Amino acid sequence: MKAEMLRTPFFLVDENKLIHNLEILKSVSTCTGCRILLAQKAFSMFSVYPLLRKYLDGTTASGLYEARLGYEEFGRETHVYSPAFREDEFTELLKYADHFVFNSPCQVKRFAGRAKAAGKGVGLRVNPQCSTQEGHAIYDPCAPGSRLGTTLEEFDESIAYMLDGLHFHTLCEQDSDDLEVTAAAFEEKFGRYLYWMKWLNFGGGHHITKPGYDIDRLMKIIRHFQEKYRLQVYLEPGEAVVLNAGYLECSVLEVVKNGMEIAILDTSAACHMPDVLEMPYRPPLQGSGLPGEKPYTFRLAGPTCLAGDVIGDYSFDEPLREGSKLIFEDMALYTMVKTNTFNGMPLPSIVYRDGEGNCHIEREFGYEDFKKRLS
Ligand SMILES: Cc1ncc(COP(=O)(O)O)c(C=O)c1O
């Protein structure tokens, strides 16, 4: 089936583009011996886990549900990190996760004994207090007052003997020069503990599959830690796994005017691509230009009641009209996992385009999906 025949809106994930990214990631793990995990928070389309499993070493989870999904659908290694684990979920989590990363010495004291007794790895997320991001404070785990990771001041040496590994995650869509700065700050603060560790996890936020990313520098940093401290380095990218590998295809429902032309779409920023509003950013749209660049400029907006449900202003060669199809790009990451049914908005279907260009509907949603989240 061709994508043009499908009812919009739908997310489409493209196998060839996915494989392109996976091969880059695999080359990093093969060349360095590091292990790469899928951060499911960015992408949990489990119907493609059998493909991902051929290239990646496992998954990382943010809690019980993602850990279970990774364990049941992906296999290989399952890691889990949470800012605070819950007592009433921990026993079940022990069934799914191989490695637990705790956020504080207190959580280590509370849970590590049980994890160890079950033969699990135990790690601590540390906060190297080194911000390398500009602009997006909500994505900066090193921002002042952050709850994410233990600072050196709060590090309690008495728990060090319980730890198999350390974890830091500080980056968001960044190149390896920022990793280098972070890794140096981390090593200066926590390096002396690494001699006792079996592994070190560099977290996510590495834009490895973005054209121009400096992979050689990444590999140099990985080798430095693995050779100096004789440990296993893990990376847990989410975004890099599916970067530019997915689309959100939608249709124009209606065009209205209010000082400018406004196209109301059958997709919503608030419900289907909330990062557009949260981050915020302007998603790439096939065949479009900046406002005024092409002859016809339109504001693209969602059909919800939220006044700010606006995707952005774009220009086109031809005017948009009811039924015009639009394809937003780079829509695999942090979209499907973040959708919601505010206003009773239907969820976009999930479609997979195989290597031959045939589209398969993996999942369609209906009224029951909206209703069953309510009471
Ligand atoms: C602990 C942790 N690991 C991995 C990731 C994945 O990051 P990204 O999708 O930017 O690679 C995140 C993202 O927030 C994270 O918080």
Burial class (CB in 10 A: 0-12, 13-18, 19+), 356: exposed
User: Of 207, 226, 242, at which residue does a domain stop?
Assistant: 242
Could you tell me if residue 238 is inside a domain? yes
pLDDT number for residue 229: 98
Helix (H, G, I), strand (E, B) or coil at 207: coil
Could you tell me if residue 17 is inside a domain? no
Residues 250 and 227 in one domain: no
What lies within 8 Å, CB to CB, of 320 at 6+ separation is 252, 255, 261, 263, 296, 298, 326
Separation of alpha carbons 27 and 29, rounded Å: 6
pLDDT number for residue 185: 98
The domain total for the chain is 2
User: Of 227, 242, 257, at which residue does a domain stop?
Assistant: 242
CATH of the domain at 105: 3.20.20.10
Residues 196 and 98 in one domain: yes
Residues 267 and 284 in one domain: yes
* Closest-lying ligand 1 atom to the alpha carbon of residue 171: 10
Ligand 1 centre from 107 Cα, in Å?
A: 21
Ligand 1 centre from 206 Cα, in Å?
A: 9
Residues 78 and 188 in one domain: yes
Residues 222 and 74 in one domain: yes
Q: E-strand spans in the chain?
A: 10-14, 35-39, 58-61, 77-81, 99-102, 121-125, 165-167, 199-201, 232-235, 246-257, 261-265, 296-301, 310-316, 325-329, 349-353, 359-363
Ligand 1 centre from 70 Cα, in Å?
A: 15
pLDDT number for residue 238: 98
Residues 132 and 261 in one domain: no
Asked if 141 contacts 87 with a C-beta cutoff of 8 angstroms, the reply is: no
Residues 89 and 194 in one domain: yes
- The CA–CA distances, whole Å, from 232 to 228, 283, 289, 363, 371 equal 11, 36, 45, 37, 46
Best mutation site among 36, 40, 41, 279 for ligand 1 pocket (most ligand atoms within 8 Å of CB): 41
pLDDT number for residue 134: 80
Each of the 375 residues of the chain gets a pLDDT tens digit; together they read 899 999 999 999 999 999 999 999 999 999 999 999 999 999 999 999 999 999 999 999 999 999 999 999 999 999 999 999 999 999 999 999 999 999 999 999 999 999 999 999 999 999 999 999 887 788 999 999 999 999 999 999 999 999 999 999 999 999 999 999 999 999 999 999 999 999 999 999 999 999 999 999 999 999 999 999 999 999 999 999 999 999 999 999 999 999 999 999 999 999 999 999 999 999 999 999 999 999 999 999 999 999 999 999 999 999 999 999 999 999 999 999 999 999 999 999 999 999 999 999 999 999 999 999 999
Helix axis angle for 105-117 and 87-96, nearest 10°, is 50
Could you tell me if residue 234 is inside a domain? yes
Residues 290 and 155 in one domain: no
Ligand 1 centre from 169 Cα, in Å?
A: 7
Residues 49 and 161 in one domain: yes
Could you tell me if residue 25 is inside a domain? no
Residues 168 and 256 in one domain: no
Residue ID of nearest Cα to ligand 1 atom 5: 204
Residues in the chain, how many?
375
Could you tell me if residue 353 is inside a domain? yes
Residues 230 and 106 in one domain: yes
Residues 272 and 353 in one domain: yes
pLDDT number for residue 137: 81
pLDDT number for residue 242: 98
Could you tell me if residue 279 is inside a domain? yes
Largest CA distance in the chain: 67
CATH of the domain at 299: 2.40.37.10
Residue range(s) defining the domain that contains residue 347: 3-11+246-331+339-371
Asked if 314 contacts 358 with a C-beta cutoff of 8 angstroms, the reply is: no
User: Of 242, 259, 285, at which residue does a domain stop?
Assistant: 242
Binding-site residues, ligand 1, Cβ < 6 A: 39, 41-42, 81, 169, 172, 203-205, 236-240
- Bridge partners (DSSP) of residue 166 are 124, 200
